[in-house]
């Protein structure tokens, strides 16, 4: 068995940490080629000492200088900037790319890996949301193996037959059921949510994740982005994807077939399971995750999402139906709104308001070209930023 050489985009993040944990359990199978980080240079230096990549990438020239100093005596090439991210993603020295940068910043390096035909472990859902048609066209062209890491999509992938790319209807699938924990505000009133603080929003009941995706989970925009992600990954439409709130986060998603069967994937909520599956597929390797104990798990509950209290789900579904640049605009406006909320500049309940205004006030275009998608992203960021209140 050849050793898989891995580029880990976003090594200092939550997915980055889980990936390195699984990789380190199987030194006979996996070797780290490159690690990248944005600004947490000390953390990256620490990871480099443990995992000895050949290349490390940071954001700026001064960060690179600092990292070089911290890594003196080690033969690690230090690079910086967005071009370097694309370079390590597409390098002939790497087989597998874990796309775990958060947000739109992950788009170009992930696409570079796709174009180079790498095995893609896709955690960075924003890249696919922004550029769905183009992204999937490039996957088909290059023959990249695209393995979903988002736990829900990983679950669906496991519940589908291997030949699902023929078309879901062709393999007897009626619909996909996407589970959602409901986030920390599942039972909060709108009035309570108006006063929600960033600390309350990032305090997810079941998953430990980065701050941006934690806020997305609280607004349910995470599930909206995942609905769009599911449509592209599995070649379906929003009408064939149902969101189901499941507070225990044990059933990671389900697939319903025309014959009355519903297949589900279950497990403890730990991202190392989908990461291990992506790394080893079609094999399975241990991930350090304990087996589910059904006697202690107890009961599993399912309920419909409340789209009045959580309008982001509707906004995402409508953006997917509208098509073109609408999902890229939705994503960009959401990134601006979430950052403003985390900075104390926007109320939690105004996140969907800002996104909806950006979507209605900007013209939408066909999204066939990368340049159009990037321009829509920039325009939406500028527009959403102009709409921000001066203070709250
Ligand atoms: P995180 O905030 O913990 O980590 C983000 C990583 O991206 C860091 O390494 C950071 O250095 C890097 N980064 C941030 N901005 C960058 C930029 N401009 N340029 C280059 N690198 C940059 O985030 P996370 O929770 O690990 O999530 C990463 C991605 O995985 C997100 O797209 C998220 O939606 C997705 N995801 C995460 C989870 C989870 O459990 N954490 C689950 C499913 C999907
Ligand atoms: Mg998910």
260 burial (CB, 10 Å; 0-12 / 13-18 / 19+) is: exposed
What percentage of the chain reaches a pLDDT higher than 70? 99
The residue ranking higher by pLDDT, 206 or 35, is: 35
92-134: pLDDT as tens digits: 999 999 999 999 999 999 999 999 999 999 999 999 999 999 9
Q: Residue 26 above 80 pLDDT?
A: yes
Name 230's Cβ contacts closer than 8 Å, sequence gap at least 6.
152, 153, 156, 176, 178, 236, 241
pTM over 0.85: yes
With bands split at pLDDT 50, 70 and 90, how would you rate the model's confidence at 202? very high
With bands split at pLDDT 50, 70 and 90, how would you rate the model's confidence at 205? confident
pLDDT of residue 208: 85
342-356: pLDDT as tens digits: 999 999 999 999 999
Does residue 271's CB lie within 6 angstroms of at least one atom of ligand 1? yes
* DSSP secondary structure code for residue 13 in this structure: S
CATH 3.40.50.720 in the chain, residues? 4-149
Q: Best of 11, 82, 101, 147 to mutate for ligand 1, by most ligand atoms within 8 A of CB?
A: 101
- Å from CA of 209 to ligand 2 middle: 10
Which candidate, 4, 9, 20, 5, places its Cα nearest to that of 79?
Answer: 9
- Å from CA of 250 to ligand 2 middle: 12
60-71: pLDDT as tens digits: 999 999 999 999
Q: What is the CATH number of domain 323-392?
A: 1.10.1740.10
Position in ligand 1 atom list of the atom nearest CA 109: 20
pLDDT of residue 390: 64
> Distance between alpha carbon 228 and the CA centroid of its chain, in Å?
11
206-242: pLDDT as tens digits: 888 999 999 999 999 999 999 999 999 999 999 999 9
Position in ligand 1 atom list of the atom nearest CA 225: 34
Mean pLDDT of 124-149: 98
Q: Residue 391 above 60 pLDDT?
A: no
pLDDT of residue 204: 84
Across all residues in the chain, what is the average pLDDT? 97
The ligand placed nearest to the CA atom of residue 8 is 1
Tokens of 319: 């953006």
pLDDT of residue 206: 83
Q: What is the CATH number of domain 4-149?
A: 3.40.50.720
- Which DSSP string corresponds to 50-85? HH--SEEEESSHHHHHHHHHHTTTS--EEEESHHHH
CATH 1.10.1740.10 in the chain, residues? 323-392
> Which residues lie across from 57 on neighbouring strands?
36, 79
- Å from CA of 171 to ligand 1 middle: 34
What percentage of the chain reaches a pLDDT higher than 90? 97
Q: Residue 270 above 80 pLDDT?
A: yes
The residue ranking higher by pLDDT, 208 or 142, is: 142
pLDDT of residue 392: 57
Peptide bond into 208 cis (omega under 30): no
Mean pLDDT of 154-161: 98
Tokens of 318: 């409508």
């Amino acid at each position: 068995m050849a050793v898989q050489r891995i580029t880990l985009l976003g090594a200092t993040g939550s997915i980055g940490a889980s990936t390195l944990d699984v990789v380190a359990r199987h030194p006979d199978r996996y070797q780290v080629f490159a690690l990248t980080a944005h600004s947490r240079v000390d953390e990256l230096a620490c990871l480099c000492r443990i995992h000895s990549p050949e290349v490390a990438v940071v954001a700026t020239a001064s960060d690179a200088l600092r990292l070089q100093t911290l890594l003196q005596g080690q033969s690690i090439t230090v690079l910086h900037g967005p071009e370097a991210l694309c370079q390590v993603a597409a390098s002939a020295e790497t087989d597998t790319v874990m796309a775990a940068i958060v947000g739109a910043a992950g788009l170009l390096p992930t696409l570079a890996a796709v174009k180079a035909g790498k095995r893609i472990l896709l955690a960075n859902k924003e890249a696919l949301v922004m550029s769905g048609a183009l992204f999937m066209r490039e996957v088909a062209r290059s023959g990249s193996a695209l393995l979903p890491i988002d736990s829900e999509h990983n679950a669906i992938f496991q519940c589908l037959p291997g030949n699902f790319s023929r078309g879901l209807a062709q393999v007897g699938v009626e619909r996909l059921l996407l589970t959602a924990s409901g986030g920390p505000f599942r039972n909060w009133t709108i009035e309570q949510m108006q006063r929600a603080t960033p600390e309350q929003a990032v305090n997810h009941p079941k998953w430990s994740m980065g701050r941006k995706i934690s806020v997305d989970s609280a607004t349910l925009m995470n599930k909206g982005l995942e609905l769009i992600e599911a449509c592209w990954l599995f070649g379906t439409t929003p009408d064939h994807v149902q969101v189901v709130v499941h507070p225990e986060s044990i059933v990671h998603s389900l697939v319903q077939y025309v014959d009355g069967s519903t297949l589900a994937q279950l497990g403890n909520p730990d991202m190392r399971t989908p990461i291990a599956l992506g790394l080893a597929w079609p094999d399975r390797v241990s991930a350090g995750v304990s087996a589910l104990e059904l006697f202690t798990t107890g009961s599993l509950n399912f309920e419909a999402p409340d789209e009045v209290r959580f309008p982001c789900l509707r906004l995402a579904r409508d953006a997917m139906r509208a098509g073109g640049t609408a999902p890229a605009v939705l994503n960009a406006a959401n990134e601006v709104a979430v950052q403003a909320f985390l900075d104390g500049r926007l109320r939690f309940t105004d996140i969907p308001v800002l996104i909806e205004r950006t979507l209605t006030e900007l013209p939408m275009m066909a999204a066939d070209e990368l340049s159009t998608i990037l321009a829509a992203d920039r325009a939406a960021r500028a527009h959403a930023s102009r709409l921000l209140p001066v203070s709250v």
